[in-house]
């Protein structure tokens, strides 16, 4: 989404005359559009980050930075390490994750996290809830798109 905004901005700048009167205005508009998009994605991620993390851990135990990298590899690069570690601690306190230390060739031992039986059950319920909720929202958005284009 950021590239679209940047692309829009670049296109608008190409159309400026040499005086550049609208440059500051266009720059503010592009920044505001980026902030809205990032803010919306950030709010959505807050609601489902635990589910995303548990889904990654369903495949194999992983350490904190490995989770950040795995999320980024899947296009969720808004997630920082500072968000992951408190989340992992909360999930562990709730009994959904367990942890263990494993030696690392790159330095000190790493703390790996894995789903517990309770965590796998929660993941199944979370996936079902996500599927049902997104289906409802998609239906709502599709209806709105159809009426808007009519």
pLDDT of residue 78: 75
3-state class (DSSP) for residue 104? strand
Q: Of 67, 58, 69, which is closest to residue 119 (Cα–Cα)?
A: 58
pLDDT of residue 65: 92
Q: Which two tokens stand for residue 94?
A: 């709730």
Give the single-character DSSP code of 22: T
- What pTM does this model have? 0.67
pLDDT of residue 88: 96
> Look-up: residue for tokens 């950030």?
42
User: Cβ distance 111 to 63 under 8 Å?
Assistant: yes
Pick the more confident residue, 4 or 55. 55
């Amino acid at each position: 989404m950021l590239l679209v905004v940047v692309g829009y901005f670049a296109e608008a700048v190409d159309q400026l005359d040499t005086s550049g009167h609208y440059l500051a205005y266009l720059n503010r508009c592009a920044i505001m559009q980026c902030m809205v998009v990032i803010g919306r994605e950030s709010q959505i991620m807050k609601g489902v980050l635990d589910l995303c993390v548990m889904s990654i851990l369903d495949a194999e135990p992983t350490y904190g930075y490995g989770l950040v990298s795995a999320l980024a590899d899947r296009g969720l690069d808004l997630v920082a390490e500072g968000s992951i570690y408190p989340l992992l601690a909360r999930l562990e306190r709730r009994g959904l994750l367990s942890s263990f230390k494993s030696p690392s060739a790159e330095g000190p031992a790493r703390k790996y996290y894995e789903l517990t039986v309770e965590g796998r059950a929660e993941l199944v319920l979370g996936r079902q809830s996500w599927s049902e909720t997104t289906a409802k929202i998609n239906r709502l958005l599709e209806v709105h798109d159809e009426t808007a284009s009519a």
